[in-house]
Amino acid sequence: MLKRVHFPTSLLPYLLVAPQIAITLVFFIWPASQAMYQSFLIEDAFGLGTEFVWFENFEVLMTDSHYLDSFQRTAVFSVLVAALSMGFALILAGFAQRVVRGAMFYRTLLIWPYAIAPVLAGALWVFMFNPTLGIFPYFLEIIGITWNHYLSGNQAMLLVILAAAWKQVAYNFLFYLAAMQSIPNSVIEAAAIDGAGPARRFWTIVFPLISPTTFFLLVINMVYAFFETFGIIHAVTQGGPGTSTTILVYKVFNDGFVGLDLGGSAAQSVVLMALVIVMTVVQFRFVERKVAY
């Protein structure tokens, strides 16, 4: 039986959660409702005239080819970021698991990128890939590839994907390492005695057993790629060249604060909000249920 705890006054519990509620109200509920309200308005660039238009902003969005392109781009971007960072983290975790000497040293190094602010991470990659000064374009030139992400949309996309994935590797690595360490050693040994080599053990035993973690990380990485990569994109390409790296979250910023289409921008952010809510629901539904076994 659960014991119910009674406080002498009913005020204390509310006081205790008040800071969290205040923060949620001020930094989430209020701006979110503002965005929702604003998405029903059309304003001129100087804020002089405002018109309530119901769903016109959304209708415009759904027929705007730029917006639909951005949607597609975001899908490609987020899938590649998630796949790349998770794949790489999985490999690293697999190796880190086998390291005996200096394990703490390697693990600490691998976790570092997570502590770097997105904009700084972006700045690092900008330096490394600067077409005139960067080290990587220099090497690429040697093997006959001309690198200029200021001109090539695909190269720009590749760069922001690499930067965004690199930053998320640390997080994924931590979760994968923890998941692998929770697999009993004797199960792996049993597979070894059964005749499975390292690769086979990984794919038929380890990988299925960490599938709940993979699913959890997939959702987290998608959310990350959708929203938290703003800083990286702003620092590296600012959505360019053209609109080739303008993913949804960047377009919200660009249309609202650069293009000053506040209503349209608000409508986009409402769509994004709906997306993240769906993803969160999916995650809670499935992760709670322990996927696969």
- Position among 8, 102, 144, 197 found at the interface with another protein (CB under 8 A): 197
Close Cβ partners of 142 (under 8 Å, ≥ 6 residues apart): none
- Cβ closest to another protein, residue 94 vs residue 231: 94
- What's the farthest any 2 CA atoms get from each other in the chain? 77
**Interface with another protein by CB under 8 A: which range of 5-13, 88-96, 182-190, 222-230?**
182-190
**Interface with another protein by CB under 8 A: which range of 62-70, 155-163, 186-194, 257-265?**
186-194
119 is an interface residue for another protein by CB under 8 A: no
Bridge-based pairing of strands 41-43 and 50-52 is: antiparallel
Instruction: Supply the minimum distance, in Å, between the C-beta of residue 183 and another protein.
Output: 9
- Calculate the alpha carbon distances from 13 to 8, 16, 24, 26, 27 in Å: 10, 5, 17, 20, 22
Tokens linked to 224:
């990350």
184 is an interface residue for another protein by CB under 8 A: yes
292 is an interface residue for another protein by CB under 8 A: yes
Peptide bond into 118 cis (omega under 30): no
Instruction: Supply the minimum distance, in Å, between the C-beta of residue 181 and another protein.
Output: 16
102 is an interface residue for another protein by CB under 8 A: no
Restricting to residues 122-161, which ones interact with another protein according to CB under 8 A?
none
- Position among 189, 203, 274, 280 found at the interface with another protein (CB under 8 A): 189
Instruction: Supply the minimum distance, in Å, between the C-beta of residue 197 and another protein.
Output: 8
Size of the site for another protein (CB under 8 A): 19
104 is an interface residue for another protein by CB under 8 A: no
Measured in degrees and rounded to the nearest 5, phi and psi for residue 14 equal -65, -40
7 is an interface residue for another protein by CB under 8 A: no
Instruction: Supply the minimum distance, in Å, between the C-beta of residue 194 and another protein.
Output: 4
- Position among 160, 169, 209, 217 found at the interface with another protein (CB under 8 A): 209
Q: How many CB atoms lie within 10 A of CB 9?
A: 8
- Position among 81, 169, 191, 217 found at the interface with another protein (CB under 8 A): 191
Sequence-separated contacts (24+) of 242-247 with Cβ below 8 Å = 242/153, 243/66, 243/69, 243/70, 244/73, 244/153, 244/154, 244/156, 244/157, 245/73, 245/77, 245/153, 245/156, 245/157, 245/160, 246/70, 246/73, 247/70, 247/73, 247/74, 247/77, 247/78
Specify whether the CB–CB gap between 85 and 162 falls below 8 A.
no
- Cβ closest to another protein, residue 66 vs residue 200: 200
Half-sphere exposure of 21 (CA within 13 A, CB side): 6
194 is an interface residue for another protein by CB under 8 A: yes
- Position among 23, 29, 99, 187 found at the interface with another protein (CB under 8 A): 187
What span, in angstroms and rounded, lies between the C-alpha atoms of 224 and 117? 14
291 is an interface residue for another protein by CB under 8 A: no
Instruction: Supply the minimum distance, in Å, between the C-beta of residue 195 and another protein.
Output: 4
293 is an interface residue for another protein by CB under 8 A: yes
Instruction: List residues near another protein by CB under 8 A.
Output: 184, 186-187, 189-197, 200, 204-205, 208-209, 292-293
